[in-house]
């Protein structure tokens, strides 16, 4: 129990707390209107004034959760006639405290809230039933907030894992490409040394090849700078590229037909970009086969110009695929495209189906 309290005490604030968003102003407006209406209908002027005074605490409940809880519950404790049904909105404050506040703030706020309820009962402001209901309501708010807090943390960790795996995968692809260039340089260097005395011109040709391969390797290394890789044994199979896209075409035993169309100058596309396009197309086809209901075809189109390689994957299934938008597959795809300086987006098609579009710089990401 002691260790549990220590861990809660050291718990930091939840990251990413929004300061104020549109729904906060909507909530404030609803609370103000409801408080005024209740005051006019019941002539509970004191409760109406209290409700209006405390309503602005809703706007600061995430950034100053403990302070807002302290203000609201201490004012309610010393207010002569706090009776007003709309004051139930104050339950949002303890929820925000446990959802966004630090462990110290949560413990201090819980102690203050329970003390307020107990003192109110001791002073006769509330009865035994209200005392019990107050404790139950607060505990329920704390539990609900804690559940959403740790659920968000779990989802964040899973998303980080997806991004990390995509970075490692990209790093392995880059490693394979650079290793190919370095191997070619080593072979040419050995050949040049062997013939240098007998055929100086052949040695010069070897140096030219080494220079070209070194330039390509350096270009690939610039992309690798943006990807971090943990020590992990990679597969021995070569990384796929644009030429392997046609292998995605065809019909699965119980799925839609996949068509592949390649246009533009694709001959000199760097291996890192080609591999990324293949991975994005492969993931898009997998998602379409898994989620596109009643789909009969999946279309893959790749077009390249002097600056950008573009990917377009679409299917003719039912357009409603909201679950895919928040999935981790799309996050991994966006991460890979971002590491190469490009973009990847997904959404409903103009008519039926789902569409994935990606645009990657032909030269890869710049350092």
* Tokens 């804690």 found at: 146
Q: Residue 165 has what pLDDT?
A: 74
Contact present, 311 and 358 (Cβ < 8 Å): yes
pLDDT averaged over every residue in the chain: 81
Contact present, 231 and 290 (Cβ < 8 Å): no
Structure tokens at 315: 């299917």
Q: Residue 265 has what pLDDT?
A: 84
Domain positions in the chain are 2-126, 163-224, 242-361
Q: Residue 11 has what pLDDT?
A: 82
Q: Residue 115 has what pLDDT?
A: 93
What are the backbone dihedrals phi and psi of residue 229, each rounded to the nearest 5 degrees, phi first? -135, 130
The whole-number average pLDDT for the span 213-222 is 66
Helix (H) or strand (E) holding 52: helix 45-54
CA pair distance 54, 91, nearest whole angstrom: 12
Structure tokens at 229: 């890789």
Q: What is the pLDDT of residues 223-278, one digit of tens each?
A: 555 444 433 444 445 568 888 888 888 876 667 889 999 998 888 888 888 888 99
Q: Angle 185-189-190 (CA atoms, 0-180°, nearest 5)?
A: 120
The whole-number average pLDDT for the span 46-69 is 92
CATH number of 242-361: 3.30.565.10
Least confident of 175-184, 204-213, 335-344, 356-365: 175-184
Q: What is the pLDDT of residues 12-52, one digit of tens each?
A: 888 888 888 899 999 999 999 999 998 888 888 888 899 89
| pLDDT band at 68; cut points 50, 70, 90 | very high
pTM for the full model?
0.53
Q: Residue 253 has what pLDDT?
A: 65
| pLDDT band at 135; cut points 50, 70, 90 | very high
Contacts (Cβ under 8 Å, ≥6 apart) of 328 = 158, 159, 162
The whole-number average pLDDT for the span 110-135 is 90
Contact present, 228 and 238 (Cβ < 8 Å): no
C-alpha 294: how far from chain center? 29
Pairing mode, strands 297-304 and 257-264: parallel
- For residue 343, what are the β-bridge partners? 359
Helical H runs in 79-127?
Answer: 92-100, 103-122
**pLDDT surpasses 90 at 341:** no
Q: Residue 260 has what pLDDT?
A: 92
Whats the size of the chain, residue-wise? 367
**pLDDT surpasses 90 at 357:** yes
Helix 103-122 crosses helix 65-78 at what angle (to 10 degrees)? 10
| pLDDT band at 61; cut points 50, 70, 90 | very high
Mind giving me the DSSP string for 144-187?
Answer: HHHHHHHHHHHHHHHHHHHHHHHHHHHHHHHHHHHHHHHHHHHH
CA proximity to 86, closest of 145, 22, 39, 133: 39
* Tokens 């040695």 found at: 203
Q: What is the pLDDT of residues 232-245, one digit of tens each?
A: 444 445 568 888 88
Q: Residue 232 has what pLDDT?
A: 42
């Amino acid at each position: 129990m002691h260790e549990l309290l220590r861990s809660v005490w050291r718990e930091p604030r939840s990251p990413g707390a929004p300061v104020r968003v549109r729904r906060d102003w909507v909530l404030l407006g609803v609370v103000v209107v409801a408080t005024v209406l209740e005051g006019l209908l019941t002539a509970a002027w004191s409760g109406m004034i209290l409700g209006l005074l405390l309503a602005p605490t809703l706007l600061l409940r995430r950034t100053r959760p403990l302070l807002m809880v302290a203000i609201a519950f201490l004012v309610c404790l010393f207010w002569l006639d706090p009776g007003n049904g709309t004051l139930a909105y104050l339950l949002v404050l303890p929820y925000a405290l446990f959802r966004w506040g630090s462990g110290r703030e949560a413990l201090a706020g819980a102690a203050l809230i329970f003390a307020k309820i107990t003192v109110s009962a001791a002073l006769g402001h509330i009865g035994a039933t209200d005392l019990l209901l107050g404790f139950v309501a607060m505990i329920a708010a704390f539990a609900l907030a804690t559940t959403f807090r740790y659920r968000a943390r779990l989802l964040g960790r899973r998303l980080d894992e997806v991004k990390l795996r995509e970075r490692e995968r990209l790093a392995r692809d880059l490693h394979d490409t650079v290793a190919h260039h370095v191997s070619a340089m080593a072979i040419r260097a050995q050949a040049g040394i062997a013939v240098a005395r007998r055929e100086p011109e052949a040695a010069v040709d070897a140096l030219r090849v080494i220079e070209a391969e070194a330039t390509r390797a350096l270009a690939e290394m610039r992309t690798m700078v943006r990807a971090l890789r943990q020590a992990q044994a990679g597969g021995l199979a070569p990384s796929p590229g644009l030429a392997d896209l046609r292998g995605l075409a065809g019909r699965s035993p119980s799925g839609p037909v996949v068509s592949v169309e390649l246009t533009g100058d694709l001959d000199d596309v760097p291996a890192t970009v080609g591999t990324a396009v293949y991975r994005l197309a492969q993931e898009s086809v997998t998602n379409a086969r898994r989620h596109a209901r009643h789909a009969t075809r999946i279309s893959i189109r790749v077009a390249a110009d002097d600056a950008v390689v573009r990917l377009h994957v679409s299917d003719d299934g039912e357009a409603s695929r909201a679950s895919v938008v928040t999935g981790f597959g799309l996050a991994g795809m966006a991460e890979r495209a971002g590491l190469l300086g490009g973009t990847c987006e997904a959404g409903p098609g103009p008519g039926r189906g789902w569409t994935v579009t990606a645009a990657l710089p032909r030269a890869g990401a710049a350092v």
